[in-house]
Amino acid sequence: MNWAGLYTVLSGVNRHSTAIGRIWLSVIFIFRIMVLVVAAESVWGDEKSAFTCNTQQPGCNSVCYDHFFPISHIRLWALQLILVTTPALLVAMHVAYQQHQEKKLLVLTGHGDAKHMEEVKKHKMRIAGSLWWTYVCSVVFRLLFEAVFMYIFYMLYPGYQMMRLVKCEAYPCPNTVDCFISRPTEKTIFTVFMLVTSSICIILNMAELVYLVVRACARRSQHHSNPSSAKGSFYGHKHSSEYKQNEINQLLTEQDGSLKDMLRRNSGLQEKGDRCSAC
Amino acid sequence: MDWGTLQAVLGGVNKHSTSIGKIWLTVLFIFRIMILVVAAERVWGDEQQDFVCNTLQPGCRNVCYDHFFPISHIRLWALQLIFVSTPALLVAMHVAYTRHEKKRRFRNGEKIDIEELKNEKIHIRGPLWWTYTSSIFFRIIFEAVFMYVFYYMYDGYQMPRLVKCEAWPCPNTVDCFVSRPTEKTTFTIFMLAVSGICMMLNLAELCYLVIKICMKESRKAT
């Protein structure tokens, strides 16, 4: 399992994301993961072997390196990218669960053939109802992880700048010893670059959050002003069976036209559709 | 055969798992195997060549390294991940055996749809329930054993910066310095935490299976 495997896992989620979500995923993979793998890892590759201290005292190098670099930038970025991308899997799990429910419904209504099952797999889920909440939670978690890691970076490496020279006094170094860091300017450039892309991702996430909230409010106000054309509440009032029926009908009416026609042709659902108030 | 192949093998088992089992597999692959491959292996990459002792005595460094690190963390984690993920193959074998039996019955003249047989989701009941529960039980045992082995070998999960070595041929006591101890401690704690989470998921899955079967039995009784 490596970055390519993560890409395969996450590109499946992409289908059910908003447009901003897709842009965010592209920025993550191209400007952060790819830059990390293709460039940053070579810059930090010799970080320890080329960390030189002005002493021949055995162990002083190791100890000073460990004192100034408790966790390497590369590992922090790898952890950050993994933690930031995994909330999207919450959405994937929820979508899989909804698809499973749809398939069960189709089987119960006698449309359990392979063609209908394929339709369920292919059609795009609308971000409404409980899926909206899951999606919003995943965006909030992403923002949280990004902010936490930026703070950790700031705490461990104040000012984000890589110094050329550090003065070390840890045992077994005799008195104070000068230690020199390898490629400090290149490291500073990449640190600033990753910081900037991280900020862009935070902005994209905030924009996506605002977009989702505004869209939900607009839908809700449309529902209040014109209840007959409403397509169901986005609140999770899952306890009412009427809501459940409305949600099922909503799911059915949002299928591709062909599936809807197929179902209508087999008149079993026709009566339910007539009684539905959210269609 | 590498982690990718293991992922392919276990992905097939995923289809017959419970939801908790699927979450467990995702946590295993993303937070353990991926972290191991992408980050931890680099941290431990120079563990022996940067293990420095305060002596020029030939052989002292090798002997001290071997004394303090009988098995490297990376190798232990790799073994742990392999052992923990393979009980799922018991389930895969059982499912394959069930399908084989159905195909045999089809060949003997019973009317079964071959295509449907391939895609059919097998429900976790009967002997498969026992196989599945055993596999979870083994997973928990392996996790616990490896966590104990780690604790026993490395005295409390922390990587010291300095170790004092007296093994022959080192003269008297010699100071040896471990490379990147803070980073190693961080990753050890991280892997331990995720291991704990996986154990809890396994326990939850076990409880879920037992409760499900008890409810089914009580429904049958009434």
Domain range annotation of chain A: 3-45+74-161+187-220
Average of per-residue pLDDT values in chain B: 88
Q: What is the CATH number of the domain that holds B144?
A: 1.20.1440.80
Over range B19-33, report the average pLDDT: 91
3-state SS assignment for residue B100 = helix
* Residue contact A59–B162, C-beta within 8 A: yes
Using CB atoms and an 8 Å cut-off, which of residues 168-187 of chain B contact chain A?
175-183, 186-187
Low-confidence ranges of chain A (pLDDT < 70): 111-112, 227-279
Q: CB under 8 Å to B142, separation ≥6 — which residues?
A: B80, B83, B84, B87
The answer to whether residue B216 scores a pLDDT higher than 90 is: no
Confirm or reject contact between A257 and chain B (CB < 8 A): no
Q: In degrees rounded to 5, what are phi and psi of residue A15?
A: -60, -30
**For position A236, what pLDDT does the model report?**
40
Q: Which long-range contacts (CB under 8 A, 24 or more apart) does B4-9 make?
A: B4/A1, B4/A2, B4/A5, B6/B33, B6/B82, B6/B85, B7/A1, B7/A5, B7/B33, B9/B89, B9/B92
Q: Once rounded to an integer, what is the mean pLDDT over residues B166-178?
A: 91
What is the interface pTM, i.e. ipTM, of the complex?
Answer: 0.83
pLDDT at B207: 94
Tell me if chain B has a CB within 8 Å of the CB of A18: no
Confirm whether B196 is domain-assigned.
yes
Percent of chain B scored above 70 by pLDDT? 95
| Alpha carbons A200 and A24: distance in angstroms, whole number | 9
Chain A: give the shortest CA distance to residue B117, in Å.
13
CB atoms within 10 A of CB A257: 7
Q: Which chain B positions have a beta carbon within 8 Å of A5's beta carbon? A: 4, 7, 29, 34
Is B195 among the domain residues? Answer: yes
Choose, out of A37, A71, A104, the residue to mutate when testing the contact with B (most B CBs < 10 Å): A71
With beta carbons under 8 A apart, name residues in chain A contacting B39: 74-75, 78-79
Q: Are A2 and B30 an interchain contact pair (Cβ–Cβ within 8 Å)?
A: no
Residue with tokens 């209040």, as numbered in its chain: A224
User: Residue B28 in contact with residue B80, Cβ under 8 Å?
Assistant: no
Question: Chain A contacts of B33, Cβ < 8 Å?
Answer: 1
**What is the total count of domains within chain B?**
1
Q: Is residue B168 one of the residues assigned to a domain? A: no
In angstroms, the CA B123 to CA B212 distance is: 12
Token reading at A249:
């009908």
Alpha carbon of residue A193 to chain centroid: 20
B183/A75 CB distance under 8 A = yes
Say whether A63 and B177 touch across the interface (CB within 8 A): yes
Which residues of chain A does B37 touch, with a Cβ-Cβ cutoff of 8 Å?
Answer: 1-2
Distance (Å, rounded) from C-alpha B43 to C-alpha A69?
Answer: 12
Q: What are phi and psi of B191, to 5 degrees?
A: -65, -35
How confident is the model at residue B117, as a pLDDT? 60
Q: Which of A102, A132, A127, A110 is nearest to A255 (CA)?
A: A102
> What pLDDT digit, counting tens, does each position of B89-109 carry?
888 888 888 888 888 887 777
Q: Is residue B153 part of a domain?
A: yes
User: How far apart are the C-alpha atoms of B78 and A114, rounded to whole Å?
Assistant: 41
Query: Are the C-beta atoms of residues B2 and B36 closer than 8 Å to each other?
Result: no
Residue B4 in any domain: the answer is no
Give the strand order in the sheet containing A177-180: A52-53, A177-180, A165-168
A3-45+74-161+187-220 folds as de novo design (two linked rop proteins) (1.20.1440)
Range(s) of the domain holding residue B100? 19-47+72-159+182-221
Which of A125-129, A201-205, B131-135, B168-172 is predicted least confidently?
Answer: A125-129
Closest CA to B85 of B168, B204, B5, B188: B5
Nearest residue to B187 (alpha-carbon basis) of B25, B39, B28: B39
Average pLDDT for B98-127: 73
- Containing H/E element for B165? strand B162-165
- CB distance A160 to A195 below 8 Å: yes
In the structure, what pLDDT confidence band is assigned to residue B66 with cuts at 50, 70 and 90?
A: very high
In this structure, is residue B164 part of a structural domain?
Answer: no
